[in-house]
Amino acid sequence: MDNWNPEQYNRFQTERAQPFWDLATKVDFTKASSLIDIGCGTGELTGQLHAHRRLKTTIGIDSSPAMLEKAAAWKAKGLTFSLGDANTYSPQQKFDVVFSNAALQWVDNHKQIFLKLLKWLEPKGQLAVQMPCNFDHAAHFLASDVAQEMKLKVRIPPLLVPETYAELLWRNGMEAIDVSIKIYLH
């Protein structure tokens, strides 16, 4: 079942865009011609990044057919969108950049998924990931309490501590590692 609603998603377009572009500034695009965007949503930001950075090949994947239906409007030369889930997707090529903004917090087993994503990189490729880590915010506690009252399963966020991501990347050959926390007030 597709739980994503593109109209609701776009209500917070400005709030979603800032972390996306902040993440993009951390990538050295002078060394990149190919990119995969995991969790591309409606594709607008992926399309803008593809055009702005003049990438030869960009693939946006998302697990939501409804989001990808909207993404089709952004198709361009070298830019494609595909139905895919980070857990099961297996690209046919390697990329200079594996990029994911606000998507991997929905994926479990972060040690395994990050190791998998590193295999999608060309030699000297770059991994750029941004994930919200505000699960200790009052709104999340309230949502958890309401879910328990409604006898719903409470999801435990899969995020690791920042040091664990840095160590994982270092032990697997990544260089110039930047694991940081930034607070966005919405």
Q: For residue range 27-66, list pLDDT tens digits in order.
A: 999 989 999 999 999 999 999 999 999 999 999 999 999 9
CB 83 within 8 A of CB 77: no
**Predicted TM-score (pTM) of this structure:** 0.87
- Strands of 9-120 (E only): list them: 34-38, 57-62, 79-83, 95-101
Helix, strand, coil abundance in the chain, percent, nearest 5: 40, 20, 40
pLDDT tens digits, residue range 132-156? 875 565 564 576 667 678 888 777 7
List C-alpha distances in Å: 147 to 62, 117, 121, 152: 26, 32, 39, 5
